Amino acid sequence: MTSNEIKWLVEGYVAGTVPDYQMSAFAMAVYFKGMTTREISDLTMNMVKTGQEFDLSAINGIKVDKHSTGGVGDKVTLILAPLVASFGVPVAKMSGRGLGHTGGTIDKLESIKGYQVERSQEDFIRQVQDIGVSVIGQSDQLVKADKLLYALRDVTATVDTIPLIASSVMSKKIAAGADAILLDVTVGEGAFMKTVDEARELAQTMVDLGKAVGRKTVAVITDMSQPLGRAIGNRLEILEALEILQGQGRQDTTHFICELAQIMLGLADIEKTVEEIRKHLENGQALAKFEEMVAAQGGDLEDLYRPVNVAHVVDILAQESGVISALPAMEFGLYAMRLGAGRAVKSDDLDYETGIVFEKKVGDSVQKGEIVAKVYTNGKISSELVTEFQKYVKMNDRVQCLREIIEIIS
């Protein structure tokens, strides 16, 4: 397609002169045929122009943003944003909601009583000027073409194609106005990209798009074959984030987030070791920043530390002794969704309290009868529910992945 044809298509779609059925045909053509680098760039930049572009120049310093292509139990932003801000680097971040097996940061933050995710551009900028960090929901005014096109892709099975994912993610990141962007490209069972080769291609495409418009952009390819950290579920993930922010999280998850923070700080020209970064978790500086952000956005700090409130907590016991070899992220994401922690369709209501907490992860040894996980539910507990969970836990097979960061692309 020529640049003019792409411009006509995007503008016409937002104006309503290009109907959904023609746009679906376009999405399907891209799905099967792909796009050239120039076409992806034209699509992205024309999408940017279909909405408000945030101007963060009133905030001093190099503003860094972060985006994940989707995961299960992915509470990284909740920790990373205040952690990076605790080093004086401003973080102005817009996040999304979850759908299907993937969770959304905004849903997790909304599980905190009072936390406001909708802010005007002025309030968002003022908060970052005042305390250095804000995480809000994506403005309705940002990249209108993506809002329409993503919904259409969702119902026409054309989400998982690199040109459309890259233009969707990067149009929003470019419009959001940060100077530097860290992209977390997830790979594995629970991610859109199933192989490292595909993830590398998506990562490189997005890095090139960012750089072409003068944004420092780095992508990390990260493992999403098993859920991230211990918890899946909105409130449960807030509680795990608090544990990590207090330096008491799982070592592997904590180390991974410190590595991401090191890259984000590097994008803002601040060189720190992982150990120096971890200190901000152990000495409470990152936690203080998180609490400051929650309070600034109307969140109730007492409610923040409240334990989950569910009707039943069910222990899932190991069926045999040995080593856990796989905890398939997609299956557990969908399982948590059925407990009420996620949405099957956009209009579904969430139960913020429900979900899963893993006591063991891939690579851990267990004895028969030991607790592998706890299921938090407000629904009926049937033995089928327990058996189904146990069926997903793979034991004594080839261990799937033990590296969180698989590759860095810059």
Which positions are annotated as active-site residues?
A: 67, 146, 153, 168, 172
Tell me the CA end-to-end span of the chain in Å, nearest whole number. Answer: 28
Return d(Cα 144, Cα 49) in angstroms, integer.
Answer: 9
Nearer to ligand URA, 183 or 385 (CB): 183
Counting contacts by CB under 6 A, is residue 95 touching ligand URA? no
- Cβ within 8 Å of residue 252, ≥6 positions away: 361, 404
Shortest CB 230 distance to ligand URA, Å? 24
Question: 193 has which bridge partners?
Answer: 187
How many C-beta atoms lie closer than 10 Å to residue 321's C-beta? 13
Comparison of 53 and 315: residue with beta carbon closer to ligand URA: 53
Minimal distance in Å, beta carbon 225 to ligand URA? Answer: 18
Q: What's CA 244's distance to the chain center, in Å?
A: 17
Which of 10, 78, 165, 264 is in the footprint of ligand URA by CB under 6 A?
A: 165
Query: Judged by CB under 6 A, which of 70, 104, 188, 249 binds ligand URA?
Result: 70
Q: How far is CA 340 from CA 192, 201, 232, 235, in A?
A: 22, 34, 11, 12
Query: Quick one: 168 or 254, whose CB is closer to ligand URA?
Result: 168
Q: What's the min distance (Å) between Cβ of 80 and ligand URA? A: 17
169 lies in the binding site for ligand URA (CB under 6 A): yes
Q: Between 146 and 291, whose beta carbon lies closer to ligand URA? A: 146
- Which three-class secondary structure state does DSSP give residue 397? coil
Q: Which is nearer to ligand URA, 31 or 389 (CB)?
A: 31
Of 41-49, 165-173, 243-251, 343-351: span binding ligand URA (CB under 6 A):
165-173
Q: Whose CB is nearest to ligand URA?
A: 168
DSSP E strands: which ranges in 251-401?
312-317, 322-326, 355-358, 365-366, 371-377, 394-395
Count of CB atoms situated within 10 Å of the CB of 120: 10
Segment 118 to 137, residues that bind ligand URA, using CB under 6 A: none
Residue 43 has φ and ψ, to the nearest 5°, of -60, -45
Answer for which of 50, 69, 77, 400 binds ligand URA (CB under 6 A) is: 69
Contact residues for ligand URA (CB under 6 A)?
Answer: 69-70, 150, 159, 164-165, 168-169
